[in-house]
Amino acid sequence: MTLLLKNARVLTMDPADTEHPRADILIEGSRIAAVGPDLAVARAADLGIVDAAGWLAMPGLVNGHLHSSSVLSKGAYEGAPLDIAMLFMDAVTASEFATERFCYLRTLLAAIDMLKQGVTAVRDDPWCMPTPTAAAVAGIMRAYGEVGMRAEVTLGLGTLREHDTLPFGANELPAAIRAELDRSPIPTIDALLGLYRDTVDRWHGSAEGRVKVAVTCSAPQRVTAEHMVALHDFARRHGLSFEAHVLETKTQRVAGRMRHGKSLLQVMGSLGVLDDRTVVIHAVWTDATDWQLLAERGCTVAHNPISNLRLGSGVMRFAEMAALGIPICLGTDQHDVDESDDLWVVARTAALLAKIAQPDDRRWPPASAFLRALTNGGARAMGLAERTGTLAPGREADIILVDLGRLPYLPLRDLRRQLLYGEVGGSLRMTIVGGRVVVQDGRILTIDEPAVREEILGHWPRYLAAYEKATAEAGRLLPIYRGLYGRLVAEDVGFTRWLGA
């Protein structure tokens, strides 16, 4: 298939920030063949032409961190600190909701929402509860392949139970509850590595190379040091990216000091698991020493500002990290802490938080820095820096077309500022992934969306009942966890990431 986008305004997002006031983009197969004004293209039977006059062509957005498994948790609660919220997140562990079909449907629901808002690629870390299975993985991978999205998927689970992750937490649980929690299933490292091997063999590079596998240890406190090294080594040997949720909260900062005498990020550095394939998620409670380590090792940071606000985790220091050259991508995280998949709002929130974190306006990152995080930063996190995230010949044709005749751009004074501070996804006319048009004028072209909606709603009463039962059981631990949380956040760590604290 050959596709010609004619007469668009083109924002390439290349290193020179090249912009074409009017240009054509020729797509051959899955890749961009040429970019320039008035391209001469031979007529062919498979040539499709799109008149993009008045539209902006730019790289598709990349969601740098998502838990698609949470898509049915929208509206679950107002918000709570992560250590308390973890009691209820993805609480449903019934096997009837770990089937290939169910995981396929819920992943489709998230993917459709993203594609309609111009998100062409995602790094997805679905929680595989109670343990990952080949069937659940198959459902997730098939969904991304069939919907036409680019995705990098992990098996989101550690090898320690949650009640063992907080300092002195497990010892304060009543013996009966502790014994019950200790009987809950948790994968061994051998089982987890075995599933990763099978998943890589079957799914890595599937769907014409759009669907890939990545490795996660979940978080450094959720695995032993030996297991974290083993998972990172697996990722390195197979050329996969490696990720971890690191220093998302103050309690994690305190835990690192109590258990190791240093931050959890520095623990990871000493174990050799920080490198240019490592994506550090959140990084809110990091300090200057941590930032220097991230910069030296070439790690990417996945910034989730709305999630951080909803959970009260704090404000990540975007400007300081960016000034050190640390690549940053943006993510939506979980649907129970951000009900939408709207990366435009995420980027705007990140930009506004960077301003209130730094009173010197001369150090505020420009709008272009956040547009790069939406595109280039996400591509780098997925190991695709040389393949996508930029509109240039030879790159994958992951392109979105934005109608510049819509109200956010009337009048059009500064394209980058108005994209960042004015767009909410409503101006999107077309989403193209790997040269294939997957969304046009708000309609998904690859999947029967009404049928997906209907089938999901058919599962909803049973899922809601299972969720309410699971959260009621988890609520037994709420007073204990609130007490532990209060003791941990009272510790002085020498700095704060909260406003007005």
The per-residue pLDDT for range 328-340, each reduced to its tens digit, is 999 999 999 999 8
Distance CA 346, CA 341 (A): 9
- Which 3 state secondary structure label does DSSP give 362? helix
Mean pLDDT of 428-433: 98
Mean pLDDT of 407-424: 97
Tokens 């797509």, residue?
27
pTM of this prediction? 0.96
Helices vs. strands in the chain: H and E counts, helices first = 17, 18
Terminal C-alpha separation, the chain: 57
Whether 158 shows a pLDDT value over 90: the answer reads no
Mean pLDDT of 151-172: 80
Position 186 scores a pLDDT of 82
Distance CA 437, CA 439 (A): 6
Q: How far is CA 7 from CA 31, 324, 429, in A?
A: 19, 38, 15
C-alpha of 45 from chain center? 39
List pLDDT tens digits, range 204-259: 999 999 999 999 999 999 999 999 999 999 999 999 999 999 999 999 999 999 99
List pLDDT tens digits, range 371-384: 999 999 999 999 99
Percent of the chain with pLDDT strictly greater than 90: 79
